[in-house]
Amino acid sequence: MHGAEVAFEAIGTAWRITTATPLPDATLDRVHATIAAYDRVWSRFRDDSVVRELARTGGTCTLPDHGGALLDLYDVLDERTHGAVTPLVGASLERLGYDAGYHLRASGPALPAPRTPVLRDGATITLAAPALLDVGAAGKGQLVDLVAAELRACGVGEYVVDAGGDLVHRGPDALRVGLQAPGDPTHVLGVVDVRDRALCGSAVDRRAWGDGLHHVVDARTGTPTRDVVATWVVADRAMDADGLATALFFADPDLLQDVVEHTYVRVHADGRARFALDLPGEVFS
């Protein structure tokens, strides 16, 4: 798509929204309002967020409707990964230094996620004890979906919404996306054609800070993963693609096949890769 583009930084990542014609200010305002509202609920990095409040007090709160869909997906991924993927991983990430102050230094031994019971009725959530939620595994993808939904609601029919490489495309011409080599932004390991679908990736180099510390953390142990170094998933919704890309670090691809229709690429530390045969693209080997 060669049209208009707006770029900005939000929720700690670089956004690019590409459209056939420039977005009206009113539409762009709605996009920013959608992002701000999401951040207000889910950001671990601001004291006035809903998840910070839950971390202080526990108890019950009602999330926006999208919260129910997000936590439904987390429930499935939690089950398929035997507890490696859970929103209760917030304190584990903070322990490793991935915190509001960006300390990026472990402040103690690895901290497994608490087994705090999370009761839920739709988008109403009850924490039996205070716990810090982190929805980094699928939240950014969901926000990409929500921004795309705003565009459609404003009559925008063709777009690419790209939040730091997690993206959703809609339009007649497929978008060819390079799968960036972990640790080497000058090389790609494959290409995928995305049309009317979402692509999300997760790589351990993207947010890595020394001594093997990075943001893909096994909630059962509180330690970063080692074997898998990068994953990509193509699915209808970016939320699903994002969550599955994280889950692929911990679960065999076969165990995730029926979560939603999707294709994937998974690259291991030793250079092996596994990918769906019907991947709309190619892995270079």
- Which residue, 32 or 120, is less far from other proteins as judged by CB? 32
Task: Output the smallest distance, CB 45 to other proteins, in A.
Answer: 9
Residues 6+ apart with CB under 8 A from 146: 34, 38, 66
Q: Nearest-5° angle of CA 11, CA 262, CA 244?
A: 45
Task: Output the smallest distance, CB 53 to other proteins, in A.
Answer: 22
Task: Output the smallest distance, CB 193 to other proteins, in A.
Answer: 10
Task: Output the smallest distance, CB 254 to other proteins, in A.
Answer: 5
- Which residue, 54 or 259, is less far from other proteins as judged by CB? 259
Task: Output the smallest distance, CB 118 to other proteins, in A.
Answer: 27
- Which residue, 121 or 252, is less far from other proteins as judged by CB? 252
3-class DSSP state of 180: strand
What does each C-alpha distance from 115 to 87, 133, 160, 161, 266 come to in angstroms? 11, 12, 38, 35, 29
Footprint on this chain of other proteins (rule: CB under 8 A):
9, 12-14, 16, 102-105, 160, 162, 164-167, 175-192, 199-203, 205-207, 209-210, 230, 232, 252-255, 257-258, 267, 271-279, 283-285
Residues 29 and 120: their CA atoms lie apart, in Å, by: 32
Q: Are 111 and 222 in contact (CB under 8 A)?
A: yes
* Residues in a beta bridge with 218: 223
Residues 255 and 96: their CA atoms lie apart, in Å, by: 29
- Which residue, 118 or 175, is less far from other proteins as judged by CB? 175
- Which residue, 82 or 152, is less far from other proteins as judged by CB? 82
Task: Output the smallest distance, CB 188 to other proteins, in A.
Answer: 6
What does each C-alpha distance from 257 to 117, 179, 245 come to in angstroms? 27, 21, 12
Across the beta sheet with 124-127, the strand order is 59-62, 124-127, 118-121
- Which residue, 88 or 244, is less far from other proteins as judged by CB? 244
